[in-house]
Structure 1
Amino acid sequence: MNTALILSALPAHYGHGPGWFILIPIFWILLIGLIIFAARRRHWQQAPAGAESVLRERYARGEIDETEYRQRLEVLRTKLK
């Protein structure tokens, strides 16, 4: 069959050139990826703080001094080994 005859039978939106059909799957892949990323990020933010992060926060607030911070950090790290 003649290609021009086949193309003339198609609706007008098919004649705008190749490549447009790939945008829809890319859009959905990006949207689903964004949803997964947002859900994981939210989960990470709700995770309980570890002992080292609590210790860092206490040091940052001035509740403990540097020597006490370093001593406690060393104890935490030796217990984890």
Structure 2
Amino acid sequence: MITALATAAAPAVHAAHWGGPFFGPWFLLIPLFWILVFVVLFAVFGRRWRRRAMEGGYGPYGRMNPSRQAETTLAERYAQGDIDEVEYRKRLEVLRANAPVPPGH
């Protein structure tokens, strides 16, 4: 008889201790924790990817922007001594004046 009462009372005590079948407010903290983890990861790695893309002159699909590529080639020619500073500045000015305007600007 006592065993039957103890067995019948055990689930009620267990449920009251944990706050019911869904563990009370702790049940909501688990998804919130994982959402926070994903937001932090996206913020950190997304910012690094965007910064690297902006510094490298790469477009949204990994290809170098044509006007940026032309400026890089011109800078390489200047560094190798193929052209002097005056020629470099004139050509750079022409490249930047004729550069296409990105969409949305």
Which of the pair has the greater relative contact order for Cα pairs under 8 Å at 6+ separation?
Answer: 1
